[in-house]
Structure 1
Amino acid sequence: MKEMLKLQFNDIGQNLWEIVNTLYQHPELGDQEYESMNLLVTLLKEHGFEVETGVVERPTAFKAVFTSDKPGPTVAYLAEYDALPGVGHGCGHNLIGTMSVGAGILLSKVVEEVGGDVVVLGTPAEETNGAKVPMSEQGIFDDIDVAMILHPSDQSYVSGESLAMDAIQFAYSGKASHAAASPEKGINALDSVIQLFNGINALREHLPSDVRIHGIIADGGKAANVVPDYAVAQLYLRAKERSYLNEVVEKVNNIAKGAALMTGATLEVSNYELSYDEMNTNEILSNAFTKNLEKTSKLPILAAKQSYGSIDMGNVSQVVPAIHPYISLNKPGLIAHTKEFAHQTVTEDGYDTLNSGVLALAYTGLDVITNSNLYQSIISEFNNK
């Protein structure tokens, strides 16, 4: 059966490669990926998928479903296709989205015989305001049994962990005044932001090493001779687990309140992007994928790398068994979020990555559907966690 999937890739491989290159040449930012979505959706429709766009009130999100007439697990592949400003597809989402679509199409060619259903989810804006978060909250995964996504990288790595993350904005309002002639009549909102950063720096000594707090002053005033009456700090706060991150957020919120009290400013706290939960890799599903990647790629597969980043796939992993492994672009040391990374996706190595990745994802989906012991073990691990 896997040999049949390999033959199917030969039929669609060129179409997939053309999409990878088109996305590379025409990158679109998060929630603006209209042409990217259209390319992926059009191919899915051509292969018999029923497609709904605009899901979870995100115009460039989609859900594509291929239903067989036989019972079995529902396997979902998640597609990302947003780019980075000034860089393009420096995170390889042109490959991610296309690999997921390709794997879904391949698996759809055999489910009429083996049973089960195939879902491809288009998940916009992973880099900023990931659509997987509302998808996880609004029941998109209720009828899905396993979820997979595959990310290009300098080398292949087993699916591992990511940090939970909150994106929090602290906006201070003060009172403007002439900074030289009558500074005593002003309330300096910028001083509040500075005290916030100072307080956070003092807090760092008492936080575990997995915690990350970093941010910017998004607004610090308009002129040096005017006491700033409005100032804004935007921060990312991360920790290994959501439960501890909530404690860190409470500590930082208290620092922010203290900074307002010190200056007399007023404070407004809000989330400027969606929150991400930590990645909870399903190890049994991960092992099954790794075995299949060993069959489709000759490149080494390394242990899960230490990650201090955050991904919206973490939210998915809280509601359904999920993996987020990495596949090699055959360039060790290649740095993500660079133009060099984007270019590597459309080289000969990029095509090999596409080939290996699509097949490994499809093979793993087939294993989940046809191996009941594997499927039950995946579900049991998820329920126990």
Structure 2
Amino acid sequence: MHVVKGKINQAIDAIKSQIIQVAEAIFDHPETGNQEYFAADLLTGILTEKGFRITRPLGQLPTAFRAQMAIAPGPVVGLLAEYDALPGLGHACGHNLIAAASLGAALGLAAVKDELRGSIVVLGTPAEESCGAKVLLVRDGVLDDLDVALMFHPGDANIVEVSSLALEALEFIFEGRAAHAASCPEEGANALEAVIQLFNNINALRPYLKDEASIHGIIVEGGVSPNIIPERAVARFYLRARTREALNRVAQRVEDCATAAALATGTRFWYHNYEPSYEAMLVNRTLAAAWQRNLQELGVTDLAPASRSRGSLDMGNVSRLVPAIHPYLSLNAGRLVPHTRQFARVVRGEAGRQLAVLAARALAWTAADVMLDRELLARIKEEFAGGQVTK
């Protein structure tokens, strides 16, 4: 195994500049969810040149792709690549580094394909920041044949085990009755007042939430003119909780808040999911332990304890289908807050360059472990089977 990993290192050394160029090219061409044509074209073009068979688009997602190199009978290892940017902020979450690292890992593995068994799959997964393409890909069966799924995320600490919260994205539409706001307001039914009351009701609910539950919302429609009683108003919320069961309870409480708001204002409402639901991340600890051993061999020893993100990941849905990890690697730039311009500046600098290459090595080494160590793969699958019973 050490010989194979040494050869993978040599292969990644040879393409180090390409990994960095890809990371920076994607950074310099930021594209929001499902618009990542430059990134998808760049990645699939390189993978095609290296002998990967490309399937694109996947389902109804034009910027999603699957690149596969079948080597020999054996496990199918998925390397997941994100590449969507944030509106107005660009790559302030470092998805360009995720894409470059998964690409680098795949190319490093391809260079030693004669010594591996199984298949290398790079999955291009767009729109993580918006509509959660991984949820749709799971639904469409694109990942059904994977034995493991691997990716990393940049951050300000090296965290091997990172779990997350389940999420519901709910849009509430209130319908009232328009009227002149000054001369005959009594003839109207104010949908905006209903939305405001919904927010007030949710604020009253907050102290009684548990299971790490949180609710965040915005008003996306609130009327057209101050002298017209708003006949339509719309609010969107993210609801999060530790488990699906806890999240369902929160959703019911929020629906009750909306019912009360509608009754108080004489309006009616309905709601729906405006983005896919995310499941809580289920970390495969056996796979995570293999990742940790590889990190330590690569010289990364400042490892933080396991962490539960207060956010949500579409990787959570993947982790319920196949053994998966979503570790964080430090940019070594002190305290960093994602989704900020400071984070983006660090991603585009030397710290980002070094991290993309380090992550490529760690991903490739961990994939090689899975492809060559039958006992490890058996333990990963045994843990996964047990975890699904108690999720």
1:140-289 to structure 2, matched below 5 A, reads 140-208=142-210, 210-289=212-291
1:102-140 per-residue CA deviation (whole Å, 9 max, x = no partner) reads: 111212222332211010000000000111001111211
* Shift of residue 257, structure 1, vs aligned partner: 2.0
1:37-58 per-residue CA deviation (whole Å, 9 max, x = no partner) reads: 1111111111110001110210
1:300-315 to structure 2, matched below 5 A, reads 300-315=302-317
1:280-324 per-residue CA deviation (whole Å, 9 max, x = no partner) reads: 000010011011112224462211233110010000000000000
Distance 1:191 1:237 in 2: 22
The code of the aligned residue for 1:44 comes to: L
2:6 is matched with: 3
1:45 is matched with: 48
Distance 2:299 2:197 in 1: 52
The code of the aligned residue for 2:319 comes to: S
The code of the aligned residue for 1:274 comes to: P
SS of the residue corresponding to residue 64 of structure 1 reads strand
SS of the residue corresponding to residue 294 of structure 1 reads helix
1:281-360 to structure 2, matched below 5 A, reads 281-298=283-300, 300-360=302-362
Distance 2:45 2:303 in 1: 33
* Shift of residue 155, structure 1, vs aligned partner: 2.1
* Shift of residue 97, structure 1, vs aligned partner: 0.7
Distance 1:344 1:258 in 2: 47
Q: Do the aligned partners of 1:299 and 1:328 also contact (CA within 8 Å) in 2?
A: no
SS of the residue corresponding to residue 345 of structure 1 reads helix
Instruction: Report the TM-score, using the length of structure 2 for normalisation.
Output: 0.96
SS of the residue corresponding to residue 89 of structure 1 reads coil
Q: Do the aligned partners of 2:40 and 2:124 also contact (CA within 8 Å) in 1?
A: yes
1:365 is matched with: 367
Distance 1:346 1:194 in 2: 41
1:200-231 per-residue CA deviation (whole Å, 9 max, x = no partner) reads: 12222322150001101111112222211111
1:383 and 2:380 correspond: no
1:54 aligned to 49, 52, 57, which one?
57
1:238-296 per-residue CA deviation (whole Å, 9 max, x = no partner) reads: 00111211121122112212221222212121111111110000001001101111222
Distance 1:100 1:297 in 2: 20
Q: Do the aligned partners of 2:19 and 2:357 also contact (CA within 8 Å) in 1?
A: no
After TM superposition, the structure 1 stretch with the greater mean CA deviation from structure 2, 95-104 or 196-205, is: 196-205
The code of the aligned residue for 2:244 comes to: R
1:17 and 2:20 correspond: yes
1:139 is matched with: 141
The count of corresponding residues between Structure 1 and Structure 2 is 384
1:28 is matched with: 31
* Shift of residue 193, structure 1, vs aligned partner: 0.7
Distance 1:182 1:122 in 2: 56
Identity %: 45
The code of the aligned residue for 1:174 comes to: G
For structure 1, which runs of at least 5 residues remain unmatched after alignment? none
2:104 aligned to 102, 105, 118, which one?
102
Distance 2:249 2:385 in 1: 26
Distance 2:163 2:157 in 1: 17
Q: Do the aligned partners of 2:19 and 2:104 also contact (CA within 8 Å) in 1?
A: yes
SS of the residue corresponding to residue 363 of structure 1 reads helix
SS of the residue corresponding to residue 19 of structure 1 reads helix
2:132 aligned to 130, 133, 140, which one?
130
Distance 2:140 2:246 in 1: 25
Instruction: Report the TM-score, using the length of structure 1 for normalisation.
Output: 0.97
After TM superposition, the structure 1 stretch with the greater mean CA deviation from structure 2, 298-307 or 219-228, is: 298-307
* Shift of residue 21, structure 1, vs aligned partner: 0.9
Distance 2:286 2:333 in 1: 28
Distance 2:235 2:111 in 1: 51
After TM superposition, the structure 1 stretch with the greater mean CA deviation from structure 2, 282-291 or 109-118, is: 109-118
Q: Do the aligned partners of 1:111 and 1:117 also contact (CA within 8 Å) in 2?
A: no
* Shift of residue 348, structure 1, vs aligned partner: 2.0
